[in-house]
Amino acid sequence: MTSVDDLFRKHNAGSKRKLEDPTTTFSRPLSNKSTKLTNGSSPRSLVNDAFDSNDSGGKAAFPQDETLDGQDDVEAGPTLPPEEVEDEPGDDEEGRFFGGGVTKQEREVIDFIDKNDDGDADEKFDSAWLRRTAINFERKINKNAELRAKYESDPIKFVGSEADLDAEIKGLSLLSEHGELYGEFVKMGCLGSLVGLLAHENTDIAIAVCELLAELTDEDSATTEDQWKTLVGAMVQNDLVDLLSSNLARLDEENESDRAGVYHILNVLENILSGSDNQEVVGANNNMMQWLLQRIKKIDLNARGKVGQNRQYAAEILAILLQTNRMNRDRIAQMEGVDTFMELLSAYRRRDPEKDSDEEEFAENLFDCLACVVEERFAGEKFVEGEGVELCLIMLREGRLAKARALRVLDHAMSGGNAIAVSVRLVEAAGLKTIFGMLMKSHKTERSLVEHLIGILASLLRYLPGGSAARIRTLAKFVENDYEKILRLVELRREYKARLSRVEASIRREREQLSSSEVEALADEWLSRRLDAGLFSLQAIELILSWMVAEDNGARQTISVLLGEDGLKILERSLRDQLDGMDPGQSDEAKSTEEMLEALLLCVEQ
């Protein structure tokens, strides 16, 4: 399964996501979309009407635009110079002018401006600047609110204040370069005012706020972790998630600016979800979760593969929400999310999405969502009821891109809360032939597939009920054809052991040169390197071999010979290491694992 670090707040995650087609042309003049406009008009059209009113014989919008009667022939433009100009200081003997066309007083003004021209460049972005900016921002908000209330039915009277407010919001983007001011920005109450504008009647104002919030919380903003948490924590406390959800409900993606607005909202969500505490807050918002589910189902007719950027982005947000949060998985399962994921993924049973497209990433995110959610009991039940096992087996037999992803889904489902039912269904659906067939061809298979195959086989032996027809059929597969599957597993064990031994030797060399405190500090890093080298898969293979030793005498003798001089002692040491590595204060699942290891250890020792 994709690691949490791969999905969450990464500063080394490569190129930054950008707003792409069909929203790359997003360049919108400020418009007003208040529901209070009458006669289908908008401030944008009203402003145009004001300027164009002469066409209908009405009075001009501004007096200076009126044409004066009887003065059609009046000359326009700058006043002509006098016909004769006397020489002034600055003219040469032939009358050529060197003075620049300005008076002495004007030259003094220009000189003064030149001397102070670097004032803006040297402006300090400190607390004083922030206070000035905050005051202007609050004034713009108040002025717009007053004019909206006073001229509710006449948008032309407040559209100017709306444009000023929009410009002020955009000016706050400078804050992203000064994370040291985030705390003060929050304390001054400005952040609350900013987030509150998400409820503005003009959706263009709300969209501008979303774009700003995305910039302030972006991984590229000049902030420390604490500064980022201060800002995001305050945003969440000011009902950010509810307000974002409300905006998603009122935006229409048929409109270009609204489509861009949806993108910016999803961008904000992605940014705040890099803080794990916020995953529960977002997931607990039913409206948000429902919108995300509905959005991934909505096709984008004009996009390649009918998957546009926002549809793909919604799937990615769901994958993040489900990655580590069990409550979110249960919530999405209650909303029929499992059926939704399987229905959408069924399109890839026999075909692959276009390479390097939004659709390909969309499919990847759907597989991530399904693999995460089926680990929980209720979702696992829905997976079996919806014939998810059968769908994955079809993908294993006929799919291309989907093959590896379907195998991962099965692996997660067969080690989750409904593992027994999933394991039994796999055998009943004639999945043994497919799984064991892939095992025997695993020398041609990429490593990730081999590891999922090993996980599935370990789950079959652990969860299939003793004496059941499904278990007997599985054991028969292991021993058929002179134990060829066991031979293949021993070969795989040898490969993983050799890879892990090289890493262990490297770690030992490093350990010899370090103090005890340094060794302790590097313990987690070394464990990660062992896992990358295949420690987990090696232990799973040794578990499978231990199960076969316990289940079949012929397999016991074969395994003992294949493992060489140490024979079953190898399995004994592995089981003891796994027992010693378990943490105290375990969950029910961990206690069950401990009991299994102890029982297998007794069988191997005999």
Say which CATH number the domain at 329 has: 1.25.10.10
Contacts of residue 23, defined as CB under 8 A and 6 or more positions apart, other chains included, come to 256, 259, 260, 263, 309
User: Which of 228, 245, 275 is the last residue before a domain boundary?
Assistant: 275
In total, the chain counts a number of residues equal to 606
Residue 65 lies in a domain: no
pTM for this entry: 0.79
User: Which of 241, 275, 309 is the last residue before a domain boundary?
Assistant: 275
Nearest to 235 by CA among 203, 205, 196, 184: 196
Q: Which helix (H) or strand (E) holds 229?
A: helix 225-237
The whole-number pLDDT of residue 60 equals 38
* Radius of gyration from C-alpha coordinates of the chain: 34
The whole-number pLDDT of residue 87 equals 45
Residue 151 and residue 263 in one domain: yes
The whole-number pLDDT of residue 375 equals 96
What is the DSSP code (8-state) at residue 522? Answer: T
Residue 199 and residue 236 in one domain: yes
Token pair belonging to 298: 């909505």
The whole-number pLDDT of residue 464 equals 96
* Distance in angstroms (rounded) separating the CA atoms of residues 547 and 552: 9
Residue 72 lies in a domain: no
Question: What's phi and psi for 128, nearest 5 deg?
Answer: -65, -45
Residue 262 and residue 308 in one domain: no
Contacts of residue 597, defined as CB under 8 A and 6 or more positions apart, other chains included, come to 575, 578, 579
How far apart, in Å, are the Cα atoms of 588 and each of 133, 325, 547, 580, 584? 56, 19, 21, 17, 12
The whole-number pLDDT of residue 42 equals 38
Residue 318 lies in a domain: yes
Residue 254 and residue 303 in one domain: no
Residue 271 and residue 289 in one domain: no
* Distance in angstroms (rounded) separating the CA atoms of residues 86 and 484: 112
The whole-number pLDDT of residue 18 equals 61
Residue located via tokens 């793909």? 312
Q: Chunk the chain into consecutive blocks of 10 residues (it has 606) and report each block's average pLDDT, rounded to whole numbers.
A: 37 49 42 39 38 38 38 44 46 45 62 54 79 93 94 91 94 93 94 96 96 95 93 96 97 95 97 92 96 96 92 97 94 96 93 90 96 96 97 92 93 95 97 95 82 96 95 95 95 94 93 85 91 93 96 94 90 92 77 90 86
Partner residues linked to 91 by β-bridges: 97
Nearest to 204 by CA among 159, 137, 258, 243: 258
Residue 312 and residue 357 in one domain: yes
The whole-number pLDDT of residue 260 equals 96
Residue 47 lies in a domain: no
* Distance in angstroms (rounded) separating the CA atoms of residues 229 and 200: 26
Residue 268 and residue 161 in one domain: yes
Count the neighbouring beta carbons within 10 Å of the beta carbon of residue 360: 18
Residue 425 lies in a domain: yes
Residue range(s) defining the domain that contains residue 497: 471-605
The whole-number pLDDT of residue 6 equals 41
Residue 88 lies in a domain: no
Number of domains in the chain: 3
Nearest to 411 by CA among 361, 449, 437, 468: 449
Residue 157 and residue 189 in one domain: yes
Residue 363 and residue 410 in one domain: yes
Secondary structure of residue 303 in the 3-state scheme: coil
The whole-number pLDDT of residue 110 equals 61
Residue 332 and residue 205 in one domain: no
The whole-number pLDDT of residue 105 equals 66
Residue 354 and residue 497 in one domain: no
* Distance in angstroms (rounded) separating the CA atoms of residues 87 and 212: 58
Residue 134 lies in a domain: yes
User: Which of 429, 460, 495 is the last residue before a domain boundary?
Assistant: 429
Cα-Cα end-to-end distance for the chain: 36
The whole-number pLDDT of residue 43 equals 38
Contacts of residue 461, defined as CB under 8 A and 6 or more positions apart, other chains included, come to 474, 543, 544, 547, 548, 551
Q: Are 190 and 138 a contacting pair, CB within 8 Å?
A: yes
The whole-number pLDDT of residue 589 equals 82
Residue 446 lies in a domain: no
Residue 21 and residue 128 in one domain: yes
